[in-house]
């Protein structure tokens, strides 16, 4: 659809700031989209980003102005259905030009019921978020939304702090992928398809709901397989409120090799008593430099998190990776248990493949631990 043919829309943040735009994508019955506003600076990979369950409850601003250039395809979905609340873009492309494309982005958004506001000065919005931090936001067509009520909605329903968003995105029942010789149980807090694809490359992966207890995982009976390793997945929202997940991880510590990514990383830290903090505007993009402190190598990483480990509260673990932009803890290794985790996304999808070695590291850890046990 051409911009001239679109209806006008308005985006309001909880601080009362107003951004004009145009209606795009899916328009919900109530006409309004509410969520926590964040921005992502990736130049490519919009489909993976929108379908990443970690964005549940959030409205994603894309800093790259063109959206939808190469369309969408089934393979690039990071989940069965997108969980983000909406997207804010500068310009949406009508044509999808790529041999892999199956559907253009706007139809895809409509099919997936994701609202969009386009034609926004996304750079202004990004700078605003950068300066004020993550805020609640609401947007909708101008004729059905007035600024005052949108502001109220943004304030009331926008923020994700203190909300358990994991329950809304985890799987209902366990399922299995891959047929490798190693058994991995992956706890699904909102797991991305690319992570599963990577794990299933060397293991048989049983994906279990977020509320699964440690004993169920360790028993070997419940899921008909004994876990050689446990994977803690990425996921949305505040790591401070999912105590049930922390309890599970605590119960697993020292009993099985663990690898965590993103929310999984934060939960691993919480399980040894560390605290998490909310970053001003988070890390969402594909260009974050992370230093691997043992190899001294720099990895360009894909990141998507609003929370991070409070380094001062971290004990009984070593920091293995740091973010070179702001010093945020990007990776830890536990002192007393075979467990490690990273805040960023080694699986990419979207993003660079620089940290792919971490999957090998997990495999090696599992093999080493299994070998040790055999010796015992």
Which residue, chain included where needed, has tokens 């939960």?
267
CA pseudo-torsion sign 27, 30, 33, 35:
negative
Rule CB under 8 A: choose which of 1, 16, 30, 44 binds another protein: 44
From the CB of 11, what's the least distance to another protein, in Å? 11
**What is the smallest separation between the CB atom of 374 and another protein, expressed in angstroms?**
36
Q: Specify whether the CB–CB gap between 354 and 255 falls below 8 A.
A: no
H helix or E strand, kind and range, residue 339: strand 339-342
Alpha-carbon distance 323 to 283, whole Å?
A: 10
Exactly one of 262, 284, 288, 299 is catalytic; which is it?
Answer: 262
In the bound state with another protein, the residue whose beta carbon lies nearer, of 179 and 296, is: 296
Would you count residue 100 as binding another protein (CB under 8 A)? yes
Min. distance of Cβ 26 from another protein in angstroms?
22
Token pair for 180: 């490798």
Question: Residue 66's closest CA among 88, 92, 44, 48?
Answer: 92
Beta bridge partners of 136: 36
- Using CB under 8 A, pick the residue from 26, 28, 31, 91 that binds another protein: 91
Least distance between another protein and beta carbon 76 (Å)? 6
Q: Please select the residue that binds another protein; options are 266, 351, 362, 363, rule is CB under 8 A.
A: 351
Burial of 143 (0-12, 13-18, 19+ CB in 10 A): exposed
Q: Does 237 engage in binding with another protein (CB under 8 A)?
A: no
Interface pick for another protein out of 1, 16, 94, 372 (rule CB under 8 A): 94
Q: Please give the structure tokens belonging to residue 122.
A: 């996304």
Residues 272-331 that bind another protein (CB under 8 A): 285-289, 291, 296-298, 300, 324-325
Of 176 and 287, which CB lies nearer to another protein in the complex structure? 287
Q: Is 364 a catalytic residue?
A: no
Q: Which is nearer to another protein, 45 or 229 (CB)?
A: 45
Nearer to another protein, 66 or 167 (CB): 66
Size of the site for another protein (CB under 8 A): 56
Is 127:96 a contact under the CB 8 Å cutoff? no
CB atoms < 10 A from the CB of 172, how many? 7
SS3 of 235, please? Answer: coil
d(Cα 278, Cα 134) in Å, to the nearest integer? Answer: 9
Is residue 43 a contact point for another protein (CB under 8 A)? yes
Cα end-to-end distance, the chain, whole Å? 67
The binder of another protein chosen from 14, 42, 79, 198 (CB under 8 A): 42
Q: How many CB atoms lie within 10 A of CB 29?
A: 5
14 near another protein, rule: CB under 8 A: no
Q: Binder to another protein among 15, 107, 121, 161 (CB under 8 A)?
A: 121
> Closer CB to another protein, residue 232 or residue 348?
348
Annotated catalytic residue 347: yes
Among 7, 80, 127, 156, binds another protein (CB under 8 A): 127
How many other CB atoms sit within 10 Å of the CB of residue 237? 27
Closest separation in Å from C-beta 95 to another protein = 4
7 binds another protein (CB under 8 A): no
Question: Are 290 and 330 contacting, i.e. CB atoms less than 8 angstroms apart?
Answer: yes
State in angstroms the smallest separation of the CB of 308 from another protein.
16
Nearer of residues 15 and 121 to another protein, judged by Cβ: 121
Sheet containing strand 317-323, strands side by side: 175-177, 203-209, 182-188, 229-232, 258-261, 339-342, 329-334, 317-323, 276-292, 298-309
Catalytic residues, by residue number, are 262, 345, 347
Q: Which residues bind another protein (CB under 8 A)?
A: 2-4, 19-20, 39, 41-45, 47-48, 63-66, 69-70, 73, 75-76, 90-91, 93-95, 97-100, 121-124, 126-127, 130, 285-289, 291, 296-298, 300, 324-325, 348-353
């Amino acid at each position: 659809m051409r911009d001239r043919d679109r209806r006008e829309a308005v985006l309001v943040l909880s601080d009362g700031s107003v951004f004009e735009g145009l209606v795009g994508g899916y328009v919900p019955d109530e006409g309004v989209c509410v969520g926590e506003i964040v921005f992502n600076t990736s130049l490519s990979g919009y489909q993976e980003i929108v379908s990443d369950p970690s964005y549940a409850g959030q409205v994603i601003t894309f800093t790259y102005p063109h959206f939808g250039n190469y369309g969408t395809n089934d393979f690039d979905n990071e989940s069965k259905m997108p969980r983000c609340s909406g997207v804010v873009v500068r310009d949406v492309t009508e044509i999808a030009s790529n041999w892999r494309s199956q559907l253009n982005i706007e139809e895809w958004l409509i099919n997936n019921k994701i609202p969009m506001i386009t034609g926004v000065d996304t750079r202004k919005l990004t700078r605003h978020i950068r300066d004020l931090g993550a805020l609640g936001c609401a947007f909708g067509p101008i004729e059905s939304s007035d600024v005052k009520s949108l502001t109220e909605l943004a304030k009331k329903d926008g923020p994700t702090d203190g909300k358990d968003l994991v329950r809304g995105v985890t799987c209902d029942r366990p399922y299995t992928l891959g047929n490798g010789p190693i058994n991995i149980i992956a706890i699904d807090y909102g797991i991305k398809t690319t992570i599963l694809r990577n794990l299933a490359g060397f293991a048989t992966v049983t994906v279990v709901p977020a509320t699964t207890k440690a004993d169920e995982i360790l028993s070997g009976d419940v899921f008909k397989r004994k876990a050689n390793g446990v994977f803690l997945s990425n996921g949305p929202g505040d790591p401070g409120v999912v105590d049930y997940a922390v309890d599970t991880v605590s119960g697993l510590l020292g009993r099985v090799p663990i690898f965590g990514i993103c929310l999984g990383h934060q939960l691993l830290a919480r399980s040894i008593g560390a605290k998490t903090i909310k970053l001003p505007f988070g890390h969402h993009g594909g260009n974050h430099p992370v230093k691997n402190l043992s190899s001294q190598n720099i990895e360009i990483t894909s990141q998507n998190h609003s929370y991070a480990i409070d380094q001062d509260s971290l004990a009984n673990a070593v920091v293995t990776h740091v973010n070179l932009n702001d010093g945020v803890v990007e990776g830890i290794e536990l002192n007393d248990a075979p467990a490690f985790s990273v805040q960023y996304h080694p699986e990419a999808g979207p993003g660079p493949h620089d940290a792919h070695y971490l999957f090998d590291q997990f495999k090696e850890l599992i093999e080493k631990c299994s070998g040790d046990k055999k010796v015992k």
